[in-house]
Amino acid sequence: MQEANRLKRLPLYLFTIIDELKKRARERGVDVIDFGMGSPDKPAPAHVVEKLCEAARVTENHRYSRPDGEVERRLREAIAHWYKGRFGVTLDPQTEVLPLIGSKEGIAHLSLAYLNNDDIALVPSPAYPVHFNGVIMAGGILYNIPITPEKGFLPDLESIPKEVVKMAKLMFLSYPHNPTGAVCDIHFFERVVKWAEGKNIIVAHDLTYSDIVFDGYKAPSFLQVKGSRELGIEFHTLSKSYNMAGWRIGFVVGNAQILKTLSKTKSYVDFGIFRAVQEAATAALEGPQDCVTDMVKLYKERRDALVDGLNAIGWKTAKPKATFYVWTKIPPKYSALTALEFATLLVDEIGVAVAPGTGFGDYGEGWVRFALVEDTQRIKAAIGKIKRLLEEPA
Ligand X SMILES: Cc1ncc(COP(=O)(O)O)c(C=O)c1O
By CB under 6 A, is residue 125 in contact with ligand X? no
Pattern 332-371, binding to ligand X, x per CB under 6 A? Answer: ----------------------------------------
Residue 239 makes contact with ligand X by CB under 6 A:
yes
- In whole angstroms, give the CA distance from residue 144 to residue 125: 6
Cβ within 8 Å of residue 171, ≥6 positions away: 121, 122, 123, 196, 201, 202, 203, 204
Among the candidate windows 97-105, 132-140, 353-361, 374-382, which touches ligand X by CB under 6 A? 97-105
Q: Does 36 bind ligand X (CB under 6 A)?
A: no
Shortest Cβ 366–ligand X spacing (Å): 21
Shortest distance, position 27 Cβ to ligand X, whole Å: 27
- Beta-sheet strand order (sheet of 325-329): 325-329, 367-371, 355-356
| Separation CA 263–CA 99 (nearest Å) | 9
Stretch of residues binding ligand X (CB under 6 A), selected from 64-72, 222-230, 237-245, 329-337: 237-245
Q: Distances from the Cα of 234 to the Cαs of 59, 98, 204, 220, in angstroms?
A: 33, 10, 6, 11
CB of 105 to ligand X, least distance (A): 6
Interface with ligand X includes 318 (CB under 6 A)?
no
Please report, in angstroms and rounded to a whole number, the separation of the first and last CA atoms in the chain. Answer: 46
37-66 footprint of ligand X as x/- string (CB under 6 A): -x----------------------------
Q: For the chain, list the strands marked E by DSSP.
A: 33-34, 97-100, 120-125, 141-146, 168-173, 202-206, 232-237, 250-254, 325-329, 352-353, 355-356, 367-371
278 binding ligand X? (CB under 6 A): no
Closest CA to 43 of 297, 306, 373, 378: 373
Kindly tell me which residue out of 134, 250, 272, 356 binds ligand X, with binding defined by CB under 6 A: 250
Residues 172-191 binding ligand X (CB under 6 A) are 174, 178
Question: Could you give the CA distance from residue 112 to residue 268 in angstroms, rounded to a whole number?
Answer: 12
Are 339 and 330 spatial neighbours (Cβ–Cβ below 8 Å)? yes
> Pairing relation of β-strands 325-329 and 168-173?
unpaired
Count residues near ligand X (CB under 6 A).
13
The residue among 232 and 250 lying less far from ligand X, judged by its C-beta, is 250
Please select the residue that binds ligand X; options are 65, 133, 208, 243, rule is CB under 6 A: 208
Quote the CA–CA distance of 235 and 208 in Å, as a whole number.
Answer: 7
Could you say whether residue 128 binds ligand X (CB under 6 A)? yes
Q: Is 251 in the site for ligand X (CB under 6 A)?
A: no
Residues that bind ligand X (CB under 6 A): 38, 102-104, 128, 174, 178, 206, 208, 237, 239, 245, 250
